[in-house]
C-alpha cells in the first residue's frame, strides 16, 4: 500500500538489503510505501516498525 502524500528521502543506510547501490540516494519524493499484504495478511507495516539501521 502507498501513502501518496508521504514525503520520502531515499536513505539506503536504512534498508534491510545488503546492497545499497542506488542513483537515488538523498533524493526526495512524494509518495512512499507504508504496508505490504500477502494473501490478505499484513506482512510489513512501515508505520509501526522503527527504521532499520
Residue 51: the pLDDT is 59
Nearest to 8 by CA among 30, 35, 33, 38: 30
Residue 25: the pLDDT is 97
- Per-domain boundaries in the chain: 2-45
Beta bridge partners of 45: 35
Residue 49: the pLDDT is 67
Residue 52: the pLDDT is 56
User: Digits of tens for pLDDT over the chain (53 positions)?
Assistant: 999 999 999 999 988 888 999 999 999 999 998 999 999 999 989 878 665 55
CATH class of segment(s) 2-45: mainly beta
DSSP category for residue 46: T
CA distance 45 to 51: 11
Amino acid at each position: 500500500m502507498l501513502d501518496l502524500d508521504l514525503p520520502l528521502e531515499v536513505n539506503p543506510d536504512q534498508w534491510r538489503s545488503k546492497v545499497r547501490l542506488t542513483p537515488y540516494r538523498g533524493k526526495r519524493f512524494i509518495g512512499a510505501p507504508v504496508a505490504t499484504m500477502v494473501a490478505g495478511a499484513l506482512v510489513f507495516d512501515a508505520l509501526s516498525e522503527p527504521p532499520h539501521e
